[in-house]
Amino acid sequence: MDKSTPDNSGEFFDQFLDDYYAECDEHLVLIRRALVTLEDEVDTATIDRAVLDNLFRSFHTLKGISGMVGLGAAEQLAHHLESYLRELREGSVVLNASGFESLAAGVSLLENVINARRNDQAIPSIGDMAARLQTATTSAPADTENNAAITRWQIEFTPTADLAARGVNVNSVRARLQEIGELKQAKPIVKGAGEIAFQFILSTNAGQTTLKSFEVDGLVFQAAEEDATAQKIRQPVATLAPSTVVRVDLDRLDELMRIIGELVISRTRLEDQLTELKRSTPPAVWRPLQETSFGIARQLRDLRESVMRVRMVPIGEVFERMTFVVRDLARENGKKILVQLSGGETEIDKFLVERMMEPLLHLVRNAVSHGIETVAEREAQGKQTEGLLSLSAMTAGERIVIKIADDGRGIDRDRVLERASARGLDTGNTQLDDAGLLDLISTPGLSTRDEADRASGRGVGMDVVKNAIEELGGHIWLATKLGEGTTFTIELPLTLAIAEALIVSVDGQRFAVPQSAVREVLEVESTSTNVLENNEIISYRGKVLPLLRLARVFEMNHELGDKFHVLVTGEESNAVGLAVDRIIGQREIVVRAIKDPLAQSKGIAGATELGDQRVVLILDISALRQLAVKSRH
Amino acid sequence: MEPFILFELAGTTYGVRSEFVQQIEMIDDVASVPNAHPAVEGVVLVRGQVIPALNLRTRFGFDKVERNLRSRLVVINNGSRVVGLVVDTAREFIKIAPESIEPPPEALTGLSGKYLEGIASINERMILVLNLDAVLDLDYEVEAALETT
Amino acid sequence: MPDELKMNNILVVDDSPTMRRMVITSLGSLRTVKSTQAGTGLEAIERLAIEPVDLMVLDLNMPDMHGMEVIDFVRRHQSYRNIPIVVLTTKGEEASRTKALEAGATSYLTKPFDPRQLADVVGSLLKTT
């Protein structure tokens, strides 16, 4: 018997489980996005047809593929969701608030069912939800709108194998037309000799020159007469992976990145060998070699950036998931919360997104459960009844900054301190600043048992959140004001793996400093330093710059010479100068994590190797600055 | 019979189960890690991975000696952690019957006594079998000290 | 030309890439088969125009053009009207079975489908045409 014909189709389709989960994830992202749009259209008669169509199709596909992998609960649930969508689409019901709630809850349950199967957990029951979705049919039908055209064109495209080979096909043509206007129609037609062509009706304000430029790809344009009967085409606005899209396992990309990392190291070695050759080689021979080496360096950078781009995903997907968590939690807790998202298009490495999911969820949950007050409390304090939770992302150099801010009650320092000392924790001084407060609420075990503590602060699992972020080479800051709200700011590298770095030397030991953390390098004479209130300072651009001697922070028995180098780090107002013996050079480094706790140390972000098999530690500038602040107290 | 890797430290022979030994290396260059535990000499690069080098002499409270050509790094991989042990020398491989490993005698003094799983006597030779979990856990020292008080 | 040398090109049309892979893998047991994919109805018709297709496996619910419209178009076209079309659609749409067959579908299977059954149907349709 043929090997590929199995006896049991259930087992046969198990081989597609990874594909199945990946496609489910993609559809769930599209679904959540569509639901966010729909939420604004509750109780209105003008629901965007394309959104309903896409939602319907996602449920339909989930139903189909869930059935194939034998996940009956997901298949049935998707079927009920699909049926409700069909009613909405056909206009037999209007989307009202309770209908929307059912839809959203159904989607959450669907996600849980799929995840339960993925994690080998018990599949949740769907009976209640199925009934709820079935009764979600009330209200009156809706009217659909009609829109006026600008200029209508009739475009004909005749596909050929040659055009397809050049990437010109019905999908790419349609995408191009959609960029310049609204497609009113797209249909296949048969020409004289049985030749197949596609006819599009486009309504656009683009001029004839734009359209002319398309003619090289075999598109023929002519003005179309106003045709009131032309149907509005169902646009595949958010269809999944056309057949040219390839899904790649993150592990394979990691492997690719590792190989590139090794190439970068080999290139560095080549560069070193070339430098040694320079003395003994005639310039006419040496220079072309050197240029070739530079060429390889540039190409490697391009290659690395291409691979990195493949790994990048917009953080918006994560944000959208958060809005659902907020909605559910807010309802459970009887709160009204407006979620504001910005910077969702900011891209971040897929690996980092996955690792950040839990910590972000945690902070968002805390903000909703413990930060934002109930409607009654807010009214009593003269605040807007609706609480505000904003999630934002932006890039800053090679790092991404994520902010989670609420306008809730803020963290009560006194209560946190009280709890901490009741637990016998050393709270240091009683004038707790935000950084100290964050440290305290991140102490393992603080506030996990006490309800009152939970309400006052956010101690539950903050240690886990902080660790997860720091493990990724990131940092978290807290800003909170009693009665006004709390903001967590998270800074993460955009990607892992390779970075530009300055190589510095202290007492003969080399360290790498990420270029992105350094604003300027100064040469300083030891006579030009001063001491001010226990701080060593130098003047820098007419201001005072606190000096941090690396040898001192690291407790190395070493003093700086008469002349040394200072790396200026940090923003204007809180800039710090890092004093080292000297700068050795600038390199592209492959960042390696230090995994074993024995070798981890505050102020060290990781390690690298510069082509000589010797380990060079990478400094964690933000952590060093924190160390400096602490030692000053 | 179970295979063991033997190494020397301050004139005594120690053994670790060879299933936990990833490789044995000459020690080239160790980058010291600031503010690390005194027994942690620093980090080294092994098979593209950055791992700590733990000096067993310091760990067991013996005098530290300069590294020489005989010094070796015994790379331990217990499935969850990879750590290099700096030892005086390591070059033997031996099979030991489990029943010939006896628990360490109560009277055994010295810091290293706390890190032993047992003692095996093979042909008049005494081999101290290490409890790797205890060796790699730097907090263990404190707990062990607390238990005796 | 001996039969086994002719490779039959099967056009698999479905908007779900996972479903397309499932179909293609199921057909893997047929030795004289190669496959082409399309994710939308328009794309499917484009495929017909630019390469020879011996059989279509078609989903009904797709973006831009419903499977029924695809069947309708293919059956009206003199060069393609004889291509066998196996309609593959999701449970709960049994009502469309009659419609699809009336429109000109050659055979009809419901998802979840049995991979052997699909291979059998496709195999026998290829032999009879």
The band of A45, judged by pLDDT with boundaries at 50, 70 and 90, is: low
pLDDT at A298 over 50: yes
C37/A243 CB distance under 8 A: yes
Asked if A614's CB is within 8 angstroms of B31's CB, the reply is: yes
> Please, what is the end-to-end C-alpha distance for chain A in angstroms?
78
Partner chains of B (3+ C-beta pairs under 8 Å): A
Reading the block at residue B83, the tokens are 């750590």
CA distance A392 to A343: 6
Mutation pick from A77, A81, A171 vs chain C, by most beta carbons of C within 10 Å, is A171
Confidence band of A364 (pLDDT split at 50, 70, 90): very high
Identify the segments of chain C with pLDDT beneath 70.
1-5, 91-95, 128-129
Buried b (16+ CB within 10 A) or exposed e, B17-56: beebbbebeebeebbbbbebbebbbbbbbbeebbbbbbbb
A67 with A215, same domain?
no
Q: Are residues A338 and A439 in the same domain?
A: yes
pLDDT in tens, A489-517: 998 877 666 677 889 999 989 999 988 78
CB A11 within 8 A of CB C38: no
A603 contacts on B by Cβ (under 8 Å)? 34-35
C1 Cβ partners below 8 Å, 6+ apart? none
Task: Evaluate whether C28 touches C99 at the Cβ level (below 8 Å).
Answer: no
Q: Which residues from chain B sit within 8 angstroms of residue A512, using beta carbons?
A: none
Q: What is the CATH number of the domain that holds A116?
A: 1.20.120.160
- A interface mutation test: which of B35, B37, B138 has the most A CBs within 10 A? B35
Residue A230 belongs to some domain of the structure: no
Q: Is residue A4 part of a domain?
A: no
Q: Is A202 helix (H, G, I), strand (E, B) or coil?
A: strand
pLDDT band at B14 (very low <50, low <70, confident <90, very high): very high
- Give the three-state DSSP class for B102: strand
pLDDT exceeds cutoff 50 at A209: yes
Q: Residue A57 and residue C15: Cβ atoms within 8 Å?
A: yes
A613 at B interface, C-beta within 8 A: yes
Closest Cα in chain A, distance from residue B67 (Å)? 17
* Final residue belonging to a domain, choices A281, A313, A345: A313
pLDDT band (50, 70, 90) for residue A327: confident
Residue from A113, A13, A136, A143 nearest A65 by CA: A13
Those residues whose C-beta lies under 8 Å from the C-beta of residue A305, and which sit 6 or more positions away, are: none
Q: What is the mean pLDDT of residues A162-188?
A: 83
- The pLDDT of A9-26, averaged and rounded, is 81
User: ipTM for the complex?
Assistant: 0.86
Rounded to 10°, the helix A462-471/A350-366 angle is: 160
Flag if B45 and A615 touch (Cβ within 8 Å).
yes
- The answer to whether residue C22 neighbours chain A at the CB level (below 8 Å) is yes
B67 touches chain A (CB under 8 A): no
User: How far is the alpha carbon of C1 from chain A, nearest alpha carbon, in Å?
Assistant: 25
Q: What CATH number should be reported for the domain holding residue B70?
A: 2.40.50.180
Question: pLDDT at residue A460 above 50?
Answer: no
Judgement on whether residues A319 and A308 belong to the same structural domain of the protein: no
> Residue B146 has which token pair?
């607390």
Residues B122, B128, B130, B131, CA torsion sign: positive
Write the CA distances from A570 to A104, A552, A586, integer angstroms: 44, 19, 19
Q: What angle do CA A13, A17, A23 make, to 5 degrees?
A: 115
Whether A609 and chain B come into contact, CB under 8 Å, resolves to: yes
Please compute, for residue A592, the number of CA atoms within 13 A of its CA located in the half-sphere on the CB side. Answer: 25
The predicted structure's pLDDT at residue A446:
61
Candidates A81, A52, A76, A57; CA nearest to A66 is A76
For chain C, the distance separating the N- and C-terminal CA atoms, rounded to the nearest angstrom, is 15
Helices (H), A312-391: 316-332, 350-366, 375-380
Q: Kindly state the tokens that stand for A162.
A: 């040659």
C15 in reach of chain A (CB within 8 A): yes
Distance CA A201, CA A155 (A): 6
Q: Which residue has the higher pLDDT, B76 or A154?
A: B76
Domain that holds residue C81: 3-128
DSSP, res B31 = B
The parent domain of residue A446 ranges over: 315-492
Among A448-462, A519-533, C103-117, which is the least confidently predicted range? A448-462
Q: For chain C, how many structural domains are there in total?
A: 1
Dist. CA A39–CA A331, nearest whole Å: 15
A337 and A464 fall within a common domain:
yes
Please state, for a pLDDT cut of 70, what percent of chain A lies above it: 85
* Count of structural domains within chain B: 1
Query: Which residues pair with residue C98 across a beta bridge?
Result: none
Residue B86: predicted pLDDT: 95
Mark whether A164 and A60 lie in a shared domain: no
Count how many Cα atoms sit within 13 Å of the Cα of residue A31 in the half-sphere of its side chain: 27
Residue range of the domain that includes B53: 2-148
Task: Indicate yes or no: CB of B45 within 8 angstroms of CB of A613.
Answer: yes
- Do the chains contact at C46 and A169, CB–CB below 8 Å? yes
Three-class SS of residue A46? coil
Which amino acid appears at position A623 of this protein? A
* A574 & A628 share domain: yes
Q: Are residues A204 and A126 in the same domain?
A: no
Highest-confidence segment of A217-231, A317-331, A459-473: A317-331
**A187 close to C (CB below 8 A):** yes
Is B50 an 8 Å CB contact of chain A? yes
Q: Which residue has the tokens 């009976």?
A: A127
Give residue for tokens 């007050």: A373
CATH number at residue C110: 3.40.50.2300
To which residue do tokens 């404190």 refer? B142
Three-state secondary structure of B52-96: EEEEHHHHHCCCCCCCCCCCEEEEEECCCCEEEEEECEEEEEEEE
For residue B50, pLDDT over 90 is answered with no
**Long-range contacts of residues A185-190, Cβ cutoff 8 Å, at least 24 apart:** A185/A230, A185/A231, A185/A233, A186/A233, A186/C42, A186/C64, A187/C65, A188/C42, A188/C45, A188/C65, A188/C73, A189/A156, A190/C76, A190/C77
Kindly state the tokens that stand for B45.
């690069």
Q: Same structural domain for residues A172 and A195? A: yes
Q: Do A598 and B52 touch (CB under 8 A)?
A: yes
Residue A289 has pLDDT above 60, yes or no: yes
- A15 and A59 belong to one structural domain: yes
- Residue B105 to chain A, least CA–CA distance (Å): 30
Determine, for residues A598 and B29 on separate chains, whether the beta-carbon distance falls below 8 Å.
no
Residue A528 lies in a domain: yes
Residues A402 and A459 in one domain: yes
Q: How confident is the model at residue A372 (pLDDT cuts 50, 70, 90)?
A: very high
Is the CB of residue A269 less than 8 Å away from at least one CB of chain B?
Answer: no
Cα separation values, C26 from A3, A401, B13, C118, Å? 11, 47, 62, 7
Q: What is the mean pLDDT of chain A?
A: 80
Higher pLDDT, A227 or B113: B113
Which structure tokens are listed for B103? Answer: 């628990």
Whether residue A382 has pLDDT greater than 80: yes
Count of structural domains within chain A: 5
Q: Bridge-partner residues for B6, per DSSP?
A: B15, B92
CA distance B128 to C111: 65
Nearest-Cα residue of chain A relative to residue C38: A243
Strand order in the sheet with B101-102: B89-96, B2-9, B12-17, B125-130, B116-122, B101-102
Q: How far is CA A428 from the centre of its chain?
A: 37
Q: Please report all neighbours of A, defined by 3+ CB atom pairs within 8 A.
A: B, C
